[in-house]
Amino acid sequence: MSTGPVLALLGRLDQPGVELLTTARRVAQGLGARLEAVWLGPLADDDVTGLGAYGTERVHHLATGRGSSTELAGAILSLPERPTAVLVTTSYPARELAARLGVRLGGGVLVDAAQVEVVGGRIEAERTSFAATWGSRCAVLAEPAIVTVKPHATSPEPAAAPSSPEVVPLAAGASDPRVRVVERTERVATGRPDLASAGVVVAGGRGTEGDFSLLAELADELGGALGATRVATDEGWVGHELQVGQTGVTVNPVLYIGAGVSGAVHHVGGMRAAQHVVAINTDPDAPLVQIADYAVIGDLFEVVRAMIDRLRELR
Ligand SMILES: Cc1cc2nc3c(=O)[nH]c(=O)nc-3n(C[C@H](O)[C@H](O)[C@H](O)COP(=O)(O)OP(=O)(O)OC[C@H]3O[C@@H](n4cnc5c(N)ncnc54)[C@H](O)[C@@H]3O)c2cc1C
């Protein structure tokens, strides 16, 4: 194993960001390496302090932001030291980057990893596949290890001794002439967390009959994201970007609440990895009720209203 740094790639100190730093620091400690960060986008003094609180010793600041995976991979390749490991929170762009870095650095790639740790000098992690019906434990045999880490798989923990990281500017790598960005569409700001990395997902299906207002209220009460089944998005009740499932977004929340959602295999494929599942359904035989940790059999409008009222009472 080389002694190059362990790199954490992030651009926000949100929940997934501090989880990533916690995991990356533990990996760095396990490998006897330094923790460094590649920070994407605007960097405030508070961010530097926060990065130091999690044990980051150096921040490579890519002020232009993520850019394309070619530009980001190029930036990482231009660092003065070859990293021992690169960790980034799982997302589609992160997986694309991991593949590109794996090829260009000749490293080993592990995607959607949880419980990442160093065992006998190499990185090991758990991952699930086939809609979380199979679990496996994997070791990365090639160096550097490029790991996309699932959110909500670890509790954030600041370093015992904070550091004062130095900030070093980093330039984007050359763009690939074969790849051209033809259009960018701004995501509509809802004030809710990103569905793919949200800690709480409140999803609605046909049972809502198109009225997502109570579910949105519950999501906001829990600080969660709103999700939906394909029926709901195909009906135009909510946008397609909210579709959870095989042909939609894969979610990894601590808590998934499905209201008026039957739990068809195509939907379950995208939420099976949720740590706790709550089903609200009038049908006790609905498949989602069968796989749920908790099920409430009843009309979702009554049940969700009661949940919101109770949550407000508890505050
Ligand atoms: C190739 C392919 C890909 C697909 N990909 C996806 C995907 O990515 N994501 C996805 O979601 N689907 C996907 N689907 C569709 C999927 O198979 C199901 O049709 C869909 O998930 C069902 O949505 P639903 O649960 O909203 O509706 P339904 O299956 O009709 O279920 C509605 C549920 O609401 C309950 N209900 C009704 N009224 C109430 C009430 N008042 N209170 C409480 N409960 C109530 C009913 O008992 C029922 O269980 C895909 C299908 C195909 C063929």
Q: How confident is the model at residue 132, as a pLDDT?
A: 73
> Where does the pLDDT of residue 71 fall: very low under 50, low under 70, confident under 90, or very high at 90 and above?
very high
Alpha-carbon distance of 139 to 115, in angstroms, equals 12
Gap between the Cα atoms of 58 and 63, Å rounded: 15
| Cα–Cα distance, 184 to 78 (Å, whole number) | 27
Identify the residues whose C-beta falls under 6 Å from ligand 1: 205-207, 229-232, 243-248, 260-262, 264, 266-267, 270, 280-283, 286, 299-300
Angle, alpha carbons 259-261-263 (nearest 5°) = 130
Model pLDDT for residues 20-66, shown as the tens digit of each residue: 999 999 999 999 999 999 999 999 999 999 999 999 999 999 999 98
What is the CA(286)–ligand 1 centre distance, in A?
10
Query: Which protein residue has the closest C-alpha to ligand 1 atom 31?
Result: 262
CA distance 75 to 66: 10
Average pLDDT of span 233-247: 95
CATH architecture classification, 6-169? 3-Layer(aba) Sandwich (3.40)
Pocket test for ligand 1, best of 246, 277, 307 (most atoms within 8 A of CB): 246
Contact 116, 87 (CB under 8 A): yes
- What pLDDT does residue 53 have? 98
Amino acid at 100: R
Measure 33 CA to ligand 1 centroid, in angstroms: 48
Nearest CA to ligand 1 atom 38: 207
Q: Does domain 195-314 have CATH number 3.30.470.30?
A: no
Q: How much is the mean pLDDT over the chain? A: 94
Instruction: Name the burial class of residue 24, with classes exposed (0-12), middle (13-18) and buried (19+) by CB atoms within 10 angstroms of its CB.
Output: buried
Site to probe by mutation for ligand 1, drawn from 226, 231, 251 as the one with most ligand atoms within 8 Å of Cβ, is 231
287 CA to centre of ligand 1 in angstroms: 10
How do the domains of the chain map onto residue ranges?
6-169, 195-314
What spacing in Å lies between the alpha carbon of 232 and ligand 1's midpoint? 8
pLDDT cut 90: percent of the chain above it: 85
Q: Note the pLDDT of residue 2.
A: 65
Structure tokens of 191? Answer: 């004030």
pLDDT number for residue 111: 94
Asked whether this chain's domains 6-169 and 195-314 adopt the same fold, the reply is: yes
Q: What is residue 152's predicted lDDT score, i.e. its pLDDT?
A: 87
Res 236 pLDDT > 80:
yes
Distance 231 CA to ligand 1 centre (A): 6
pLDDT given for residue 184 in this prediction: 82
Query: Which of 281, 289, 302, 304 for a ligand 1 pocket mutation test, highest count of atoms within 8 Å of Cβ?
Result: 281
Reported pTM: 0.82
Ligand 1 centre and the CA of 191: distance in Å?
26
For residue 221, the CA-to-ligand 1 centroid distance in Å is: 24
Q: Minimal CA–CA distance to 87: which of 49, 125, 138?
A: 125
pLDDT higher than 70, residue 1: no
